[in-house]
Amino acid sequence: MNTNASPTGLRIARLSTALGIALGCAGAWAQGAPTAPAAAEAAPVSLAVKVNGQTLSAERGELLLREQLARGVPDSSELRNMIRETLINQAVMAQDAQKQALDKLPVVKARLELVEQNTLAQAWQQKAMDDAQITDADIQTEYQAQVKALGTQEFRLRHVLVADEKQAQQVLAKIKGGAKFDQVAQESSRDPGTREKGGLSDWVAEGRLAPAIRQAIDGLKAGQLAAKPVQTPVGWQVLRLEEKRALTPPTLEAVKPQVRQALAQRQAQARLAALRSSAKVE
């Protein structure tokens, strides 16, 4: 958990790392129209479909429905009818594809095999996480470790990200010569996440800073430039410390679900590692 993998090299402090079809309402068309009498409650739309004798189980439709609900689309008869139409369209196309023997093509067979493999792998991962044995003591220990890793301070930085050291030295000289940092960042920085904000980062805990950046800002006061550019995996950075303050970590109760999930993922990874170590790979 360091900022080397971040696009900016300045990752927000988050304990949580460890620790469509949008159906529009047609009401606008009815403005000013007489109000229709209330209709009797319609029967729920069935998501089980039979097409040319082939039964498509309700589970297929439920999967598509859950995807839409997860995107924030409200459940409605219109949504369910659209899902039915999607299932029917897919079924008639798939049936005709089989008549044309498209399912025998090597590339199609490979895609079908990949879909099956991926579905089984996802089911395995979910079951491995559901089966994870996690106690409250485990959660407490993990939480304390993550809080300790965050450190005791957090910082807001400005930076200009460039491709190489020569450019970084030129940027640093320009700022030292009187150019405004935010303007230089907007003109020269390669980081789209902070460029339009004049290179300004969000608050980041010291434990989430790349070691090179942490060292570069050590001892700086608010408003001071780092003495020299810093090399990171995403490029060279010219840095200025904007603010610093004591870090107040989130409470255990606030992040308990994320901590539990992180521990479950860790146990699933351990099970995967055991499977890999015993697998015969040729």
Residue 229 confidence (pLDDT) above 50: yes
45 pLDDT band, cuts 50/70/90, is confident
**Which residues lie closer than 8 Å to 171 by C-beta, 6 or more apart?**
160, 162, 184, 188, 229, 238
**Which residues lie closer than 8 Å to 58 by C-beta, 6 or more apart?**
46, 47, 48
Residue 32 confidence (pLDDT) above 50: no
Query: pLDDT averaged over the chain?
Result: 87
44 pLDDT band, cuts 50/70/90, is confident
Percent of the chain with pLDDT over 70: 85
Structure-model confidence comparison of residues 4 and 173, the more confident one: 173
Q: What gap in Å lies between CA 153 and CA 249, rounded to an integer?
A: 10
Residue 7 confidence (pLDDT) above 70: no
Domains and CATH numbers, the chain: 3-12+150-246 (3.10.50.40)
42 pLDDT band, cuts 50/70/90, is low
Residue 56 confidence (pLDDT) above 50: yes
- Which neighbouring-strand residues pair with 225? 240
- Which neighbouring-strand residues pair with 246? 153
Over range 184-203, report the average pLDDT. 95
Over range 212-224, report the average pLDDT. 95
Instruction: Give pTM, 2 decimals.
Output: 0.68
* pLDDT tens-digit map of 60-83: 999 999 999 999 999 999 999 999
Which two three-digit tokens encode residue 242?
């904007």
> What are the φ and ψ backbone dihedral angles of 264, each rounded to 5 degrees?
-65, -40
